[in-house]
Structure 1
């Protein structure tokens, strides 16, 4: 895409006649507005000028796609904006956004932060320039046609649900359906879905009416044979289903019986286990009691023997002590007697 500058489609006299745009931070109009309105080219700040000397920027949006879309004709581009929305949804919505961006960047300084701060004259000028090249369609032609069709439909007194088929053809089809129903009741036969469609809607080579071309009609000579075969197969299938149901019920009964027997056996086994465990517990308690009594008896016997041994030892000690005491006393007495009797002889 070629790069360059595009002058806004507005004269300097028209823009100088507008009131200056107030800036929320600056007391004087922006240089970009003054130069853009007087010379037709948006001004660039000093920082941009110093940067462009060392590095070439992207450049100003030229609106080439808009010029290509408009071409040499005078027809406007149509942009559909749905009801309740603020943006277009058609293929020309991006071109409209580009055009609005070009006008805003060329007419409104960058220091303006809110759309409400832009003067009404500038807003109207931007809107006029947009409407010169775009047709903003808020209501589609299809919606208008739909509203008209709704009004026409509401005027109907009888609902028509037969589609493109006329009432005459519908009546004839209903009569054939009633006649076929009476025929089935009299003959007592059962027809397939394909046979019913063929009889009522008529036969057509290659497909069955009402079922589409995916369903192929059977040959007319085999319809009766096929119907009887189907009835025979249906009866056979019913018998098989009944036999399977009876066998299944029998299996269920046997299974329930076996399950009851297993539960009874399990209960008996659990009872036997409980009785056996109780017997083992009682035997263990009895054995422990007997062992305890035996240990008590042995301990008592040991204590008795120990007491007897202690008594015997004590008796022996006493006898020894008594004999020694007696001997000592006897010797003392004999000494006293000897001393008494010996002294008297002298």
Structure 2
């Protein structure tokens, strides 16, 4: 399993450098170069918060335009060029709602409590950092970034408090990693480091470091267990595949044996049928010969028997006739002598 990547700083897009080399006065946006890893919660949160910031910036711009008018009715007569009449009416209703006005008043009070105010206006620390990186050098000193954001164009500090923080940081001369420096000097805000964008997490405290170490240990242990389970599962799968192959081979051999046996039985049945048919044919031929012989003999016997019967009958008839003639002759001649 691959380890979770550590936060990295992305170089500005090549087109940003091209724009700066051509004298483009606009500050390059930190979004000119996308280097997002959606498996990191920080990057996902960055995308979501960037969208929320863009939406809030749009509302702030619309509210600034709305405040130029003395009343809601006057503002409704001249919608902002970037909105439709329906959208502008919804915005005017929002800006005059009780909840919005209450929140706006609270925000004013919160801003009045700030001891240090930067001079960058609506431009973010990350945008200022990108400008300095393109104009001066690739390595931006976090202390100088702080000074850039908290001094005006004439180099005058926005407040004594801002100047004092810069002086203390400059005198301490501590050596930190880049993320630790930005976190130490510029401070932490809502879980990210000023000047490095929302995707970079601030350095953890000692407690968090211990917890992180424990979590890393648990994660490594879990990875080892998962790897062991994967190896065992792969071994089981290989064993199962081997057994399945053996079963398929046995089944194939059994099917071949069945086919051979069925073929043998079929051939035996065919041979037996042929023998029975031959035997029946021989018997039939013999029976036919006997019958024919019997008929021949009968045919030979019948004429002889008939001939004998005829001779006997004729002999009997002749004998009877001879007797009758003898009697008549005797009666004729014998009677005259008397």
Normalised to the residue count of structure 1, the TM-score between the two structures is 0.38
